[in-house]
């Protein structure tokens, strides 16, 4: 990997991304090995989590390591003590840091001052582990990535950013429909366009969901209001009216389209009631594949780190 850390999808090469996908699918079908035996990994979470916390803790356990969870009150990143001090102290105790933070800057500071690998388990800018697991799911269902079209309907948020970068790395065309004021960040878009030059991905930005999903292989959505944005909830419901993924919208895609959602889902808002349980939905496969992708990532990052010491 380019650095000791995984803070962004852009920290990976196309070959590394494809290798992680292949390894995750291999681990999904085989018993886990003890690649993290003797390793201690700490999980620092500023935000609550179901899938991220459980999948990481189970992954660490299945690989023979030990996971230590630290809640916001126990650490108080940047409040009880500087992030830089936390990073340097933890580096003396553990083999790796998995952090779920409000600010991407917090992750960057942790990585800068830590001598052990840091993994982004979600920030306001990216959610790389989610996007990588999504690529595992798409490959598992479609048998390929290159040349497929993924249509994202909704907020240009952290999940959209990581999906855009992952698609651009792997040759997946990426269409995104977002209302004015809720588009992906320009710096992420620029990086994706640079990656797409090499992979052949086509990137399409529109305000019209019907245009984005036409003939798509994959339709993806996420919540309109993320954690930390609760005061904007009503404003966002108004802005995203017309961006719900429902059966009529799905009918514009290919007949074998799959529907994806990282969850938690707000049924009746970004996703129509009942759609998560429809035959085309792979949302629960996505949730499962978080475990397998993270096992592959942990095995690669921390086994490699151990060889280099």
User: Could you read off the pLDDT of 10-19 as tens digits, one per residue?
Assistant: 999 999 999 9
Residues 64 and 98 in one domain: yes
pLDDT digits (tens, 9 = 90+) for 71-125: 888 887 878 899 999 999 999 999 999 999 999 999 999 999 999 999 999 999 9
Domain-embedded: residue 244: yes
Residues 119 and 180 in one domain: no
Say how many domains are in the chain. 2
To the nearest 5 percent, what fractions of the chain are helix, strand and coil? 45, 15, 40
pLDDT over threshold 70, residue 67: yes
To 10 degrees, the CA torsion angle through 104, 98, 259, 239? -30
pLDDT digits (tens, 9 = 90+) for 3-43: 899 999 999 999 999 999 999 999 999 887 899 999 999 99
Domain-embedded: residue 292: yes
Residues 165 and 248 in one domain: yes
pLDDT band at residue 228, thresholds of 50, 70 and 90? Answer: low
Residues 120 and 26 in one domain: yes
Residues 180 and 280 in one domain: yes
Find out whether 96 and 302 touch, Cβ atoms under 8 Å.
Answer: yes
In the chain, what's the furthest Cα-to-Cα distance?
55
Residues 29 and 135 in one domain: no
Q: Which among 272, 264, 278 is positioned nearest to 243, based on CA atoms?
A: 272
Residues 116 and 65 in one domain: yes
Residues 215 and 296 in one domain: no
Determine the structural domain holding residue 206 and report its residue range: 130-287
Task: Please give the share of the chain, as a percent, with pLDDT higher than 90.
Answer: 87
pTM of the predicted protein model: 0.95
pLDDT at 57: 98
Residues 118 and 196 in one domain: no
Domain-embedded: residue 1: no
Q: Please give the backbone phi and psi of residue 93, each rounded to the nearest 5 degrees, phi first.
A: -105, -40
- Domain CATH code at residue 89: 3.40.50.1370
pLDDT at 77: 81
Kindly list the distances between the CA atom of residue 267 and the CA atoms of 108, 187, 264, 272, 277, in Å, as whole numbers in the listed order. 34, 32, 9, 6, 11
Helix (H, G, I), strand (E, B) or coil at 92: helix
Token pair of 211 as six digits: 């245009």
Q: Is 45 exposed, middle or buried (0-12, 13-18, 19+ CB in 10 A)?
A: buried
Give the span between the Cα atoms of 100 and 259, in whole angstroms: 26
């Amino acid at each position: 990997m380019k650095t000791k850390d995984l803070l962004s999808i852009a920290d990976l090469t196309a070959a590394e991304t494809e290798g992680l996908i292949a390894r995750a699918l291999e681990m999904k079908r085989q018993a886990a090995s003890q690649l993290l035996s003797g390793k201690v990994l700490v999980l620092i979470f500023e935000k609550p989590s179901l899938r991220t916390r459980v999948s990481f803790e189970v992954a660490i356990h299945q690989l023979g390591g030990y996971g230590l969870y630290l809640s916001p009150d126990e650490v108080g990143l940047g409040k009880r003590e500087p992030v830089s001090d936390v990073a340097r102290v933890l580096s003396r105790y553990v083999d790796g840091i998995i952090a779920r933070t409000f600010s991407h800057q917090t992750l960057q500071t942790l990585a800068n001052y830590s001598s052990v690998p840091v993994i982004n388990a979600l920030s306001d800018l990216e959610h790389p582990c989610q996007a990588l697991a999504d690529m595992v799911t798409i490959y598992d269902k479609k048998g390929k990535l290159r040349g497929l079209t993924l249509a994202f309907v909704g907020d240009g948020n952290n999940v959209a950013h990581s999906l855009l970068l992952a698609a651009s790395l792997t040759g997946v065309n990426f269409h995104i429909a977002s209302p004015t004021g809720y588009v992906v960040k320009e710096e992420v878009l620029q990086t994706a366009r640079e990656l797409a030059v090499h992979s052949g991905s086509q990137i399409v930005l529109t305000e019209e969901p019907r245009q984005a999903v036409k003939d798509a292989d994959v339709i993806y959505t996420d919540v309109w209001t993320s954690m930390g944005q609760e005061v904007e909830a009503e404003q966002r419901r108004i802005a995203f009216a017309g961006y719900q993924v429902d059966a009529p919208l799905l009918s514009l895609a290919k007949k074998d389209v799959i529907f994806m959602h990282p969850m938690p889902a707000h049924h009746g808002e970004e996703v129509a009631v009942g759609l998560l349980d429809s035959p085309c939905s792979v949302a629960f496969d996505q949730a499962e594949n978080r475990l397998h992708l993270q096992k592959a990532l942990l095995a690669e990052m921390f086994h490699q780190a151990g060889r280099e010491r």
